[in-house]
Amino acid sequence: MYKRILVAIDGSETSNLGLLHAIQLAKDQQGQLRLVHVVDQVYVDAETATAMVEFWNAQRQSGEALLQEARSLASKAGIEPETTLLEIEKLGQRIADMIVDEAKRWPADLIVIGTHGRRGLSHVFLGSVAEGVVRISTTPVLLIRGEGKPKHP
């Protein structure tokens, strides 16, 4: 049923758990897997531009390393995923928008994303990428709660 599965990763425990679920689902469905990571850039003024370029280069390298680790994990399970590093480059873009847009562009049958399940003030102040994806996506979304330790496929 789900042949094209997009999974958003950020290196957190809940993200890793989502990745493991997506790998197992791709195996079960004999589907394709696309791993995405979003680098969220911030507005930079001219005075800090040089330092910020170095910072963003480090962020990109970190994102690529995260995608490589996830690719390796999927490969060990017999899945050869595609990887995509997405970059927010202008004010107003949101991580959730980037994930949903990539799911449309690819096109995905399912988006898998980990959620921290925050409530109360932490939810109000921090918001939730997963909640944003659910709100705007026309593609089905599988939310994976961060409870317990992930099991390797």
Task: Spell out the domain ranges in the chain.
Answer: 4-145
Q: What is the C-alpha to C-alpha distance for residues 137 and 127, in angstroms, rounded to an integer?
A: 17
Tell which residue, 109, 100, 133, has the closest CA to residue 29.
109
Name the one residue in this structure whose structure tokens are 């390796």. Answer: 72
Contact 77, 27 (CB under 8 A): yes
Quick one: pLDDT at residue 18? 95
Give residue-wise pLDDT tens across range 108-127. 999 999 987 555 444 444 45
Whether 49 shows a pLDDT value over 70: the answer reads no
Whether 4 shows a pLDDT value over 50: the answer reads yes
Name the fold adopted by 4-145. Rossmann fold (3.40.50)
Quick one: pLDDT at residue 125? 40
Provide the Cα torsion 14, 20, 24, 26; round to 10°.
90
pLDDT band for position 62 (cuts 50, 70, 90): very high
